[in-house]
Amino acid sequence: MGFLSGKAALVTGSTSGIGLGIARALASEGASIVLNGFGDAAAIAALRREIEETHGVAVRHVAADMRKPDEITAMVRSAEAEFGAIDVLVNNAGIQHVAPIDEFPPEKWNDIIAINLSSAFHTIRAALPKMKAKGWGSIVNTAWAHAFVASPYKVAYVAAKHGIAGITKTVALEVAQQHITVNAIAPGYVDTEMVRAVPAEVLRKIVAKVPIGRLGHASDIARGVAFLTADDADFITGSTLSINGGQHMY
Ligand code: NAD
């Protein structure tokens, strides 16, 4: 029996990439899973079946759009109706757009702030009351180095990730005495669709700067998230775990 047996986990943006890796890792510890994100309906149904059969847990999919607060709240309520409460909430959904600020399309700014930042406010706001009632919860938000440093041409992404660091610490303080931990992870460059969009030459330079000398895998990130959700990690709150092959050191 895994340490999340009998618990339910909602992972936003989990139909691919890091989120899918996290969903698999939490399922392997026994959690029922609510997948969220876009994609081909048949492919998502196959994913659900595969995770259910591999780990013997219930897996649902809700295609709520993280830009829409009403859909986010409805997703949380449907998960609570089925599983009683969301015990583990992982705010992972995220998109990227790269452009100088004076050419940055306002609609891209709005989408990135909504998906990468505001959706975490809405999921936490909706899921916390049931966590408090149960007296147990684990929230993990996906930040990254851009929660602490900047890089040019990523104004919305950097602003959103700085915001995620702020939400993480604020909520951690608010619920510190209610057996609910709130942490963030800061992945380095991970081999997902988001990073496959980076030109090969740029990617080679990025990898050259990673002390361990490779891109991360979704499973590397998922390992850290699973660790933060364990009962005996309950003295860790308001923290950010760097999972980046050592890149945070310089
Ligand atoms: P990805 O593109 O592989 O996956 C993104 C997921 O979000 C998909 O499931 C997609 O369907 C979903 N999504 C996109 N828009 C959505 C919306 N409006 N509503 C609901 N779901 C939506 O990306 P990824 O690389 O796995 O990134 C996941 C998270 O990790 C993001 O927050 C990203 O900022 C962060 N991150 C990624 C890397 C990296 O190198 N890949 C590094 C650090 C942090």
| DSSP annotation string for 162-189 | HHHHHHHHHHHHHTTTTTEEEEEEEE--
High-pLDDT (> 70) share of the chain, %: 99
52-109 pLDDT, tens digit per residue, is 999 999 999 999 999 999 999 999 999 999 999 999 999 999 999 999 999 999 999 9
Q: Whose CA is nearest to atom 34 of ligand 1?
A: 94
Rounded distance from Cα 66 to ligand 1 centre (Å) = 11
pLDDT value, residue 204: 93
Helix (H) or strand (E) holding 9: strand 8-11
Pairing of strands 8-11, 88-91: parallel
Please identify which of the residues 153, 157, 189, 250 carries the catalytic annotation. 157
Three-state SS sequence of 113-131: HHHHHHHHHHHHHHHHHHH
Instruction: Report if pTM > 0.85.
Output: yes
Residue 250 annotated to the active site: no
The mean of the pLDDT values for the chain is 96
Q: Whose CA is nearest to atom 6 of ligand 1?
A: 13
Determine if ligand 1 sits within 6 Å of the CB of residue 65: yes
Pocket probe mutation, ligand 1, options 119, 192, 195, max atoms within 8 Å of Cβ: 192
Rounded distance from Cα 144 to ligand 1 centre (Å) = 12
Pairing of strands 240-243, 59-62: unpaired
**Helix or strand or coil: residue 63?**
coil
pLDDT value, residue 196: 85
pLDDT value, residue 1: 82
Determine if ligand 1 sits within 6 Å of the CB of residue 203: no
Q: Which residue has the tokens 């090969």?
A: 200
Atom of ligand 1 nearest to the CA of 91: 32
Instruction: Name 39's Cβ contacts closer than 8 Å, sequence gap at least 6.
Output: 15, 16
Strands (E), 19-151: 32-36, 59-62, 88-91, 137-142
Cα 96 to Cα 141: distance, rounded to the nearest angstrom: 17
Cα 10 to Cα 55: distance, rounded to the nearest angstrom: 16
Cα 216 to Cα 110: distance, rounded to the nearest angstrom: 28
- 108-125 mean pLDDT: 98
- 139-168 mean pLDDT: 91
Rounded distance from Cα 34 to ligand 1 centre (Å) = 16
Among 33-47, 66-80, 133-147, 223-237, the range scoring the smallest mean pLDDT is 133-147
Q: How much of the chain is in helix, strand and coil states, percent to nearest 5?
A: 50, 15, 35
High-pLDDT (> 90) share of the chain, %: 91
191-227 pLDDT, tens digit per residue, is 988 888 889 999 999 999 999 999 999 999 999 999 9
pLDDT value, residue 248: 86
Residue 149 pLDDT > 90, yes or no? no
Residue 250 pLDDT > 80, yes or no? no
Among 142-151, 174-183, 186-195, the range scoring the smallest mean pLDDT is 142-151
Answer whether 228's CB lies under 8 Å from 241's CB.
yes
